[in-house]
Structure 1
Amino acid sequence: MIEPGKEAPIASAILFLLAGPILWATHLLLVYGVQSAACAVGNSTMAPSVLIQASVMLATLGAILLLCFSLFFPGRLAHMLRYEMPEPHNHTFSVRVERLLSLLSLMGVVWSGASVFQIDVCGLLR
């Protein structure tokens, strides 16, 4: 039986496993929230469109960097979130699940960030 002091806290385990999807959701909130607000406030001039594209690219690059960090350094991410698993099988499973979800989230972030190059930024919101 595992001692209660040796178990990993549930919150840190959830944050570790869902780090990728949480980042993906934050990226979507930033991108579409800022885009919708800027298009509603901005004029039909070119300047807001360029600023929106730049902000989407910056948010996408930031999310890509954070997701790559979680993909390549899951041990550091676990340490930052205070997620410790004493059993090696559970730790290996957790790292694999976290990497898989981060990879899925990385594809979603790239896909939603690439949309700024394919469609008009404020076209549907006018």
Structure 2
Amino acid sequence: LLRESLKLGRYRATEPNWWTDMLASNDEWMLGGESAAALMTNYLKPAVVTVYCTNGIPTQMISRGRLRPDPTGNVEFLKAPFELNRTPGVVDNVVYPVLVYADLVASGDSRNLETAQLIRDQYIQHGN
């Protein structure tokens, strides 16, 4: 329900790995979902790149990725539901591990569920 209200736009990239070496100059955007999980675990090849943004869709990403608007595209831009900050011990430009976990679980995809478990085990503190 919340995710639907966060949508800023969806685009299609022609190159699948255009995003892997992009770094934000500040915390105006961070990766979530499959793309964040790929960087965190080296286990998943993302089908969709999720970008959480604080000030709208970053124009440098549109130009660098040569992205074209497409309602069924493989790049989704979402409004960040909270202030974006780096998490110590986690790859730069990746949202909080619990949000990455939630994105993966919400997808319902079996590959993503398996990766979500890896994220949970490695990055999310839970009581015993």
Higher strand share: 2
TM-score, scaled to structure 1: 0.29
Larger RCO (CA within 8 A; separation ≥ 6): 1
User: Higher helix share goes to which structure?
Assistant: 1
Q: Please, what TM-score do these two structures have when normalized by structure 2?
A: 0.29
Q: Which has the larger radius of gyration?
A: 1
